[in-house]
A and B are shown apart, each in its own frame.
Chain A
Amino acid sequence: MKKRGTLIIWPALLWLILFFLVPCFIVLLYSVLKKDTYGRIIYSFNLDNYARFFDPLYLNILWQTLVIALLTTIFCLLLGYPLAYTISRASRKWQNIMLLLVMVPFWINFLVRSYAWVVILRSQGLVNTLLMKVGLIEEPLKLLYTPEAVMIGMIYALLPFMVLPIYVSIEKMDRRMLEAAYDLGATPFKAFWNITLPQTLPGIVAGSILVFVPSIGMFVVSDIMGGAKTALIGNVIENQFRTAQDFPFGSALSIIVILFSLILIYIYTRALKVQDGKGGNR
């Protein structure tokens, strides 16, 4: 029985080893190699690719990426928590309908959805046309190809990843705990602040990681909605692999981004454990 139990994880494990771990090692290997003028790999160990990263140009881009990722996470949390809370408070039937609505966008191709935002935000787009018709503005606002547009796109794309874990953690919470808080004299706001929020912290952390990490690496949204001005670290990496044919430098940047994500996740979960005492509770 025990043997079979371990046997059934092998297909998934094999998949992860082949298509995740091995590529990671290839990237790690590339990052310490060189390329010739035509982009071919030269097998000689060096750390120049990492040294190149410390150019202010790239440091700035990473900084901007982190700021946008952080803001995206905060906005997703501010929008997602009330949504998740409302869903969890609705009747069974409405919960299912609302959860379905949260997930419906996944049925449509991500590129198509991103281009839909271009249609909405461009200068002759939905928003500008409407505002001009109403007479609130005379010139079309510059909405597209700005950092804000990139953030709108990212928040839109990643919001469900925030809503779902928070919804689960609110659902899991024992409602009688709130009654106990009211009974002890807590107003609804105080009960939320002292009981609900700390108890749903695991969901908040999970959701934040699920939003923050992809938003560091995301390049499609900034490609489509950010124009040339808003380059994120993901775009730089994409460029190294596709346009510049500089696999080693692209690999080095990838490794740096991965390290950054890991460190931030570590700090985040540690901070949670300090607050929660023993980590998540059952």
Chain B
Amino acid sequence: MKSMIQLVDIEKHFSDHSVIPPLNLTIHEGEFLTILGPSGCGKTTLLRMIAGFEKPTKGDIFLDQKRVTDSAPYQRDVNMVFQHYALFPHMTVEENISFGLQMKKVSAQEQMRRIEEVIALTRLSELKKRKPSQLSGGQQQRVAIARAIVNNPKVLLLDEPLGALDLQLRKDLQIELKHLQKKLGITFVYVTHDQEEAMAMSDRIVVMNQGKIEQLGTPYEIYHHPKSLFVATFIGENNIFSQGDQIFSVRPEKIILFPLNQSGAAAPTQEKKRGWVEDVVFLGNMYKLFIKLENEPTVLIAYQQVNGKGPYKEGEPIGVGWLKEDEVILN
């Protein structure tokens, strides 16, 4: 696979405190890569270095095999969709979209053709004479995307582009963005703190914490084979156990529940621990149980499918177990 962006031993310090320690990352051509991490983990700084708004303190950035470390943003063949869109309020939708082409002195004919194409693709035809202030959040979002992709960049950078939208719209746009990326074949580098978003869209995910890459892998790998405690707890819900000096995790959906109310019944072989139900939360398609374990401070999370029997009750004693193969060793 051809590499599109290479970050080589890149470092960033802001007034002598280090935001990003030496870091290496290769992004492939045509992939949808998400940089995922909590706020302040350095993911936006990383994206801004690729765009050229921040200069790395050390290290090099290559874009399509060319060194761009010292190039200004307007010299790089990448475009960005900003967190709050940063549309130009004094220009119409159409003027916003044509701005990049005008700056690059694309011929009027070619401009027309590309703007029409992008406007059709982002379904903005009826809105092209409007000002950004006359658009809804979702529409502004589409303008921001159109304004970026009309330039046919080698890489599209997206900085939490769906953060300001409500849940339903966000989910719709996730699908739309993913389809758009497949259709255009442009490399997408997407920054978010929302792990569900990252799961839904990405080919690969980079999980970042405190400036470091914790893990790089497909959504499946990240979810099922987390390599560190941070990844195991940051992505989805998880139960962490320690046995001696070994730490391992078991996903809530892998926890098997055993009722303990029949007195004298022999414990099934898979049962590993006992406790009682501390809280039951109804989630619609299932119940989420919080189980306080005997002789341990741990509160365990498990899911119970909704079926005829009705949920466990608060205070009810319960046995828990899991299969050996569902244990994920973390150290």
User: Total A-B residue pairs with C-beta atoms closer than 8 Å?
Assistant: 63
On whether the beta carbons of A180 and B133 are closer than 8 Å, the reply is no
Enumerate chain B residues within 8 angstroms of A182, measured Cβ to Cβ.
52-53, 72-74
Enumerate chain B residues within 8 angstroms of A278, measured Cβ to Cβ.
131, 133
Name the one of A180, A183, A185, A187 contacting B88, with C-beta atoms under 8 angstroms: A180
Count the A residues whose beta carbon is within 8 Å of the partner chain — how many? 21
Enumerate chain B residues within 8 angstroms of A185, measured Cβ to Cβ.
74, 100, 103-104, 151
On whether the beta carbons of B90 and A199 are closer than 8 Å, the reply is yes
Which residue of A has the minimal Cβ distance to B89? A281
Interchain nearest-CB distance for A203 vs B (Å): 14
Residues A179-199 near B (CB distance < 8 A):
179-187, 190, 194-195, 198-199
Enumerate chain B residues within 8 angstroms of A181, measured Cβ to Cβ.
88, 99, 103
On whether the beta carbons of A199 and B89 are closer than 8 Å, the reply is yes
On whether the beta carbons of A281 and B90 are closer than 8 Å, the reply is yes
Q: A180-B80, A278-B131 are in contact. Are A187 and B74 (CB under 8 A)?
A: yes
Q: Does B312 contact A (CB under 8 A)?
A: no
Mask for B89-108, Cβ within 8 A of A = 1, else 0? 11000000001100110000
On whether the beta carbons of A186 and B86 are closer than 8 Å, the reply is no
Count the B residues whose beta carbon is within 8 Å of the partner chain — how many? 25
Interchain nearest-CB distance for A181 vs B (Å): 7
Enumerate chain B residues within 8 angstroms of A199, measured Cβ to Cβ.
89-90
Which residue of B has the minimal Cβ distance to A179? B53
On whether the beta carbons of B86 and A180 are closer than 8 Å, the reply is yes
Interchain nearest-CB distance for B23 vs A (Å): 23
On whether the beta carbons of A184 and B79 are closer than 8 Å, the reply is yes
Q: Does B147 contact A (CB under 8 A)?
A: yes
Enumerate chain B residues within 8 angstroms of A184, measured Cβ to Cβ.
74, 79, 99-100, 103, 147-148, 151
On whether the beta carbons of A186 and B103 are closer than 8 Å, the reply is yes
Enumerate chain A residues within 8 angstroms of B86, measured Cβ to Cβ.
174, 176-177, 179-180
Q: Does B171 contact A (CB under 8 A)?
A: no
Interchain nearest-CB distance for B159 vs A (Å): 10
Interchain nearest-CB distance for A73 vs B (Å): 23
| CA distance in complex: A281, B132 (Å) | 11
Which residue of A has the minimal Cβ distance to B104? A185
Interchain nearest-CB distance for A87 vs B (Å): 23
On whether the beta carbons of B74 and A177 are closer than 8 Å, the reply is no
| CA distance in complex: A182, B78 (Å) | 11
Additional pairs, 6, CB under 8 Å, beyond known A176-B84, A182-B72: A180-B88, A181-B99, A199-B90, A276-B90, A278-B131, A281-B89
Residue ranges of B at the interface with A (Cβ–Cβ < 8 Å): 51-53, 72-74, 78-80, 82, 84, 86-90, 99-100, 103-104, 131, 133, 147-148, 151
